[in-house]
Amino acid sequence: MSQQVVVVGGGVIGLLTAFNLAQAGQSVLLLERAEVGRESSWAGGGIVSPLYPWRYSQAVTALAHWSQDFYPQLAARLFEQTGLDPEVHETGLYWLDLDDEQQALDWAQREQRPLSRADMSAVYDAVPVLGPGYRRAIHMSGVANVRNPRLVKSLKAALQAMPQVQIREHCQVSGLLHEQGRISGVATADGVIHSDRVVLTAGAWSGELLKPLGVELPVEPVKGQMILFKCAADFLPSMVLAKGRYAIPRRDGHILVGSTLEYEGFDKTPTGSALDSLKASAIELLPALADAEVVGHWAGLRPGSPQGIPFIGELPGFAGLWLNCGHFRNGLVLAPASCQLLADLLLDQQPVIDPAPYAPAGRLA
């Protein structure tokens, strides 16, 4: 059998890539080795901003800004099409006692983002549950979080309703078919699938699939652990971040606290030590969480990459093989722009942003 496009990996990047290509009239087969969206996409917090946007290169900033502006309409379109609301929840974000506060303010002025110093007494008025002793704050209005498990469900439902899309879960891709400088499909446990183009969106696992081709892709698994509390719906009105840890309110009162950064290969076992550390951070940030129920604790593997800059574009020397991977901590933030850019390049359309910083050419040894 032959397909126009095979997408390998069904996280948010794979799902949205498939969605964009199918909307442009391509027939798409999406292959996922387990269930769609159950890895990094499900495990993350869903803040629609890098945690410290001023610490990233312009390459990440460009994708983030396009995506932030696009998220509300993406969510509205998915809700309308599927009846499943991804819950893009605009709360704003407070950063507390930053060492590089001035760099943040300078960046905001340069980039014209709504980030400014906040008076600490006003912060305590706005977020009465905040722990004592914080001295300085900056605030960015309009920052949203997306409820990532709902986004995944909504994207899956939208794809299932499109006649030109097939989703195959529990289908492990074991290799890429390589003939005379071209990729002509994939090998799976269920047999060979031929296609004109293959898009690799396998997150932390992307590098493993390229190794047999002699390509060293610097994307590695980076474990992150999170905990989830259940509180009243109005408990936390804004996202807050201090000492590298953050709290994210969902609309129904769930509070996500994260996260760790651990380089331990493909092991994603949640650990007691991380649970204790996250709980301590949570209670320091929001003391009332000491009495709240922990309803979840999990780990996921982020696709770590140099400077957090994803690889987006065709792989030189392997015609027909396209990459959209290596988003590190910002897959959910950068997904709309990354997937639109990939579709633009693959379909030879005017790209929404300059593709040069993400091109695999020149970035791979």
Question: Do residue 274 and residue 292 come from a single domain?
Answer: yes
Burial classification of residue 142, based on how many CB atoms lie within 10 Å of its CB (0-12 exposed, 13-18 middle, 19 or more buried): middle
Indicate whether 69 belongs to any domain: no
Q: What is the pLDDT of residue 136?
A: 98
CATH number at residue 213: 3.50.50.60
Tokens 């309009």 found at: 142
Is the same domain home to 231 and 293? yes
Over 80: is that where the pLDDT of 1 sits?
no
In a domain, 85, yes or no: no
- pLDDT digits 0-9 by tens, 240-295: 999 999 999 999 999 999 999 999 999 999 999 999 999 999 999 999 999 999 99
Please check the confidence at residue 4 and state whether its pLDDT lies above 90.
Answer: yes
Q: Does residue 236 share a domain with residue 132?
A: yes
Question: Which residue among 304, 332, 349 closes a domain?
Answer: 304
Considering the domain boundaries, does residue 241 fall inside one?
yes
Q: CA separation (Å) from 143 to 52, 114, 240, 333?
A: 12, 9, 11, 11
SS3 category, 258: strand
Residues 300 and 310 in one domain: no
Cα 275 from Cα 287, distance rounded (Å):
16
CB 299 within 8 A of CB 263: no
Q: Tens digit of pLDDT for each residue in 30-84?
A: 999 999 999 999 999 999 999 999 999 999 999 999 999 999 999 999 999 999 9
Q: Range of 103's domain? A: 93-141+220-304
Binned at pLDDT 50, 70 and 90, residue 362 comes out as confident
pLDDT at residue 160 greater than cutoff 80: yes
Cβ(63)–Cβ(327) below 8 Å = no
Cα pseudo-dihedral 265, 8, 35, 25, rounded to 10: 150
Asked, for residue 58, whether it belongs to a domain, the answer is: no
User: In the beta sheet, which residues pair with residue 229?
Assistant: 255, 294
Is the same domain home to 6 and 124?
A: no
Q: Give the three-state DSSP class for 220.
A: strand
Domain boundary among 280, 304, 328: 304
Residue 79 lies in a domain: no
What pLDDT shows up at residue 3? 66
Tell if the pTM clears 0.75, that is, is over it: yes
Counting the structural domains of the chain, the total is 2
d(CA 291, CA 130): 15
* pLDDT confidence of residue 125: 97
159 and 205, same domain (yes or no): yes
Q: What CA–CA distance (Å, rounded) separates 42 from 11? A: 8
236 found inside a domain = yes
Task: Answer yes or no: do 206 and 246 share one domain.
Answer: no
Same domain, yes or no: 131 and 225: yes
In this predicted structure, the answer to whether residue 154 has a pLDDT above a threshold of 50 is yes
Mean pLDDT score of the chain: 96
pLDDT at 364: 87
**To the nearest whole percent, how much of the chain has pLDDT over 70?**
99
Q: Would you say residue 110 has pLDDT above 60?
A: yes
Which CATH number covers residue 226?
A: 3.30.9.10
Distance between CA atoms of 187 and 309, rounded to whole angstroms? 28
Do 234 and 286 lie in one domain? The reply is yes
Q: Are 206 and 26 in contact (CB under 8 A)?
A: no
Please, what sign has the CA dihedral across residues 36, 39, 44, 49? negative
Beta pairing, strands 239-242 & 245-249 = antiparallel
Looking at the chain, how many residues does it have? 365
User: Rounded distance, CA 227 to CA 99, Å?
Assistant: 26
Confidence grade of residue 365 (pLDDT, cut at 50, 70, 90): low
Asked whether residue 274 falls in the same domain as residue 326, the answer is no
The span from the CA of 252 to the CA of 254, in Å, is: 6
Q: Kindly state the average pLDDT of the residues 143-168.
A: 97
Residues 137 and 229 in one domain: yes
Residues 155 and 250 in one domain: no
Within a domain: 60: no
Check residue 48 and give its pLDDT.
96
